[in-house]
Amino acid sequence: MKRLSTLWIANLFYLACSYALHAQLDVLVDPPAHIKSITFHNQYINDFSPMVKLGDQFTISFDDLGENQQDYTYRITHCDYNWEPSKLSSTEFIDGYSADRIRDFESSFNTFQPYTHYSFSIPNEHTALKISGNYIVSVLNEDDEIVFSRAFMVYEPLVSVAISAHKSKTISDINAVQRLEVLVDYPNLRINNPNKEIKLVIIKNYDWHEQIKNIVPQYHRGTQLIYNQNELTFGGGNEFLYFDTKEIRNPVNKIARVQLDDIFNTYLYSDEPRADVPYTYYPDINGNFSIRTIDSDDSALEADYSKVHFSLQTTAYPHQDLYVYGNFNNWKLTEENKMTYHPTEQRYTATLLLKQGFYNYTYIAQDKQKNVHHELVEGSFYQTENDYAVFVYHRPFGSRYDRIIGVGKTKVEKLRN
């Protein structure tokens, strides 16, 4: 009965808060098996968000586990609010070249798993972004084929955005849901028709599956737009699980044992479903990861890889596929992070090849209709600490692109009534 009630709650969240960004997920290209550890670094300390202020520099890096070094290039594409390529020519959003060779690459050193580490920063002497908005960066091989792509946002701080988090107004989900209220103030910007010109996107933990779009203001007050609809709700979810392989030879921090074969094998302690277990707080980094090793000062080149073995001890979830989930693969549901069920042992398992570091992860379910259920395995609690970001898009009448004119961020640690 508990399993059925949890499934009902998960379905309720999905139907009431349809925040899967299918269009954005569809346009991105997943990397092949030999491309690992794709990261987006901005200039802000402990900020894992895929966004940057216009003019600030960001860096994208990745590892290629292939035997030979490759000649890769990057390509920048400007997109509209819905992540479709905008109608602008590259000269309208780029100073310099929208595509260029990746020149910074180096082989790993003293690792059991050899790899080549690539990185590039923007702006650089060849490329600089001129306008704000949604962007996709693609990495291409020598045949001009896309190897993988990533999405990021560039914003201008032209309006102020305030966010507050509250308990649900509905008694039935008051213990499981977080409700947001947003205020956008534009005292120095002329907006003739806010309902037509302004669009918001709210993202939870920068997870592309968890967002709300196409939000119109509840009402106006001078130069302020107020958004306090009951529909601005997210399932609170649960705190992320974690492990740390910075000491790759030693079983510490949630690691049961380590075995060295051709490369390291890291076996985590088995997890259990938490949907019907009381909420427990412990700090996390909301699904993100940080590459690090204690054996070297240069984690980019000297951090090793290990096969990380996940285990979830539970009876089967009928009509659901389970996945190990987090930002380690850009919040995607792929065959690589899909779990296998073992009926005789009553457990799900998965093995992922991951670089040394601190990782957050969780378990989610996807039904046969491809609906994602975050709460089915892990539960949903209003107390859960989450990061929320609000992006304000502006497209006045006659404009040819959507600019991002403001960003608001909040870390939900205590809800208001």
H helix or E strand, kind and range, residue 23: helix 22-27
Residue carrying the six token digits 């107390």: 383
Amino acid identity at 255: I
- Is beta strand 305-313 parallel, antiparallel or unpaired with respect to 264-268? parallel
Cβ atoms within 10 Å of 81's Cβ, excluding its own = 19
User: DSSP of 367-416, one letter per residue?
Assistant: ETT--EESHHHH---TT--EEEEEEEEE--TT-SS-EEEEEEEEEESS-B
Q: Is residue 101 within 8 Å of residue 54, measured between CB atoms? A: no
Is the C-alpha dihedral spanning 150, 138, 198, 41 positive or negative?
A: positive
Give 121-132 pLDDT, tens digit per residue. 999 999 999 999
**Residue 85 DSSP symbol:** B
pLDDT bin (cut points 50, 70, 90) of residue 26 is low
Q: Is residue 363 within 8 Å of residue 271, measured between CB atoms? A: yes
pLDDT bin (cut points 50, 70, 90) of residue 12 is very low
Indicate the class that CATH gives domain 2-21+157-236+382-412.
mainly beta
- Is beta strand 357-367 parallel, antiparallel or unpaired with respect to 241-244? antiparallel
Cβ atoms within 10 Å of 381's Cβ, excluding its own = 23
Whether 2-21+157-236+382-412 shares its CATH topology with 31-155 is answered yes
Give 49-62 pLDDT, tens digit per residue. 999 999 999 999 99
The residues facing 24 across adjacent strands are: none
Rounded distance between C-alpha atoms, residue 182 and residue 204, angstroms: 14
- Asked if residue 268 has pLDDT above 80, the reply is yes
Write down the pTM of the prediction: 0.91
Rounded distance between C-alpha atoms, residue 101 and residue 313, angstroms: 47
**CATH code given to domain 31-155:** 2.60.40.10
Give 151-189 pLDDT, tens digit per residue. 999 999 999 999 999 998 888 889 999 999 999 999 999
Give 307-357 pLDDT, tens digit per residue. 999 999 999 999 999 999 999 999 999 999 999 999 999 999 999 999 999
Rounded distance between C-alpha atoms, residue 242 and residue 43, angstroms: 25
pLDDT bin (cut points 50, 70, 90) of residue 47 is confident
Reduced to 3 states, what is the DSSP secondary structure of residue 12? helix
Residue 25 has a pLDDT of 57
CA angle centred on 202, ends 158 and 191, rounded to 5°: 35
Reduced to 3 states, what is the DSSP secondary structure of residue 40? strand
| Domain edges within the chain | 2-21+157-236+382-412, 31-155, 241-378
